[in-house]
Each structure stands twice: as structure tokens, then as C-alpha cells.
């Protein structure tokens, strides 16, 4: 991906990976617009980064997505990069009752949201040079974390969608990228102070280096064993990973 001279819209840009990625791209000379539900977070990020713009977006609501897409096309006709980053992650119990509200909100935010957002902008992006659609998935798309079974399944679904969309857009100007982070120190699952998680600044630095290459899957080094795991022998890795995670999170 070209790392400068783009006009970029990033969902979930008010905090965590979205904010840090937006700031890194802003510093590279891109026109960056961030979207999210929390106006106060958006304003804080925009104020800290003069020239960055912010638009309120509820990724769970089709009407909000259509409104924002229309606004982006009208106000930023040079828009050529969409980064679908917004997501939520909550613990669940696949061995018991799954709260339906958690199920619906996670599926809507993590799967339907990015698909709808891309759908609303894809015809515009096809008209732009160096166009990119990127999705923030997770290494849990390849190796599920059992205590967040619903979240893991949404990321697996997103990975599958990316593969299909990349094929369908193969003869257009639009590249489809997948950013699959490992465990990173963010607010998801109260991970900001987790020693085992990758520091956010280190993740962004390594991600930017990989993003600037011609790869379709943006993986930092610690994510690569997870990506390499799926296959006939994947259960051993999955079981060992979840046994370790059960001790860490106090779940069995």
C-alpha cells in the first residue's frame, strides 16, 4: 500500500489501534478522517492531530453508514482508502448460555458493519487510483480464543469475506488487505496493562512497515505462527493456546 498522499477513512478511529493507525498515517502526509460513535473521543483525536477530520458513525446502523458514505463522497471526493477497524470484544461461554444481546451486537459490529461500510463506498473506490479496502481482523480468525468464541467466529467470518472480496475485485483498481493483530495492549478485554500483550506503539510501528509492502495480509512477526496454524493438525495448537489462556483468564 502507498503510505502517503492518500485520503483515508478509518472506522473506530477514536481509540486503540484505530487511533494509533490514524495518527501514524496522518504523520505520513495522508488526509485522514476518523469515524466512531463517541464524539468526545473523536474530538480529542482530531484536536491532537491538526488537519485530521472526524465524522460520527454508528457502524451498527445501516442508515448511519449510508449517511456517512454519502458525506465522505461529497466532502472528500479523493477518498481512496477505507480501513474497517471498528470492533467489539466481550467474553462469552460457548459451553453454556450465550447472551443474545452480546451475540447480535458482536456480529453486527464486527461482521455486518464492515461489509456494509465497504458496500456503501466500493463503487466510489473503484473510480480511484491506488484504492485500498482494509479490514482489521485478528489472529483469532485463525486460532480461536475459546473464552471469546463469538468474537473469534466474527473474525473468522471476516477473513473468509476478505478472501472472496479480494478475488471478486481482482480486475479492478481496488486492493483488499487484511490486518490481523495479535494480542495488543488496548481497552479490549482490559488489555491495556497486560504484560503478555504486544505494546500498542510497537504493533503500530511494525504494522506500518509491513503495510508499506505489497502483501495482502498485514502480519507482525508474533502473528505469523497463528496464521500458519490452520490445517489438518490445527487442533493441537488451538487446544494448547486455550489451555494457556484459561490459566491467564481464570477460566476452564
- Euclidean distance between CA atoms 115 and 162, whole angstroms: 10
Alpha-helical (H) ranges within the chain are 16-27, 39-48, 62-75, 100-107, 113-125, 149-168, 200-211, 224-227, 234-249
Q: Under 8 Å CB-to-CB from 219, ≥6 apart: which residues?
A: 180, 210, 227
Residues noted as catalytic? 151
Amino acid at each position: 500500500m502507498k503510505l502517503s498522499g492518500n485520503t483515508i477513512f478509518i472506522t473506530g478511529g477514536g481509540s486503540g489501534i484505530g487511533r494509533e493507525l490514524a495518527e501514524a498515517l496522518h504523520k505520513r502526509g495522508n488526509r485522514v478522517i476518523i469515524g466512531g460513535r463517541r464524539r468526545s473521543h473523536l474530538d480529542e483525536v482530531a484536536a491532537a492531530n491538526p488537519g485530521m477530520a472526524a465524522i460520527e458513525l454508528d457502524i451498527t446502523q445501516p442508515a448511519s453508514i449510508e449517511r456517512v458514505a454519502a458525506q465522505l463522497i461529497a466532502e472528500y471526493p479523493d477518498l481512496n482508502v477505507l480501513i474497517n477497524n471498528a470492533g467489539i470484544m466481550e467474553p462469552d461461554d460457548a459451553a453454556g448460555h450465550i447472551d443474545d444481546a452480546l451475540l447480535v451486537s458482536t456480529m453486527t459490529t464486527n461482521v455486518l458493519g464492515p461489509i456494509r461500510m465497504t458496500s456503501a463506498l466500493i463503487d466510489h473506490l473503484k473510480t480511484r487510483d491506488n484504492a485500498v479496502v482494509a479490514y482489521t481482523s485478528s489472529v483469532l480468525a485463525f486460532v480461536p480464543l475459546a473464552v471469546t468464541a463469538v468474537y473469534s467466529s466474527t473474525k473468522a467470518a471476516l477473513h473468509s469475506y476478505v478472501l472472496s472480496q479480494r478475488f471478486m475485485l481482482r480486475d479492478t483498481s481496488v486492493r483488499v488487505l487484511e490486518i490481523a493483530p495479535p494480542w495488543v495492549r488496548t481497552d479490549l478485554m482490559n488489555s491495556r496493562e497486560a504484560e503478555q500483550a504486544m505494546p500498542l506503539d510497537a504493533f503500530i510501528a511494525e504494522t506500518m512497515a509491513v503495510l508499506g509492502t505489497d502483501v495482502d495480509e498485514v502480519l507482525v512477526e508474533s502473528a505469523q505462527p497463528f496464521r500458519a496454524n490452520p490445517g489438518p493438525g490445527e487442533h493441537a495448537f488451538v487446544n494448547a493456546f486455550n489451555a494457556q489462556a484459561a490459566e491467564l483468564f481464570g477460566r476452564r
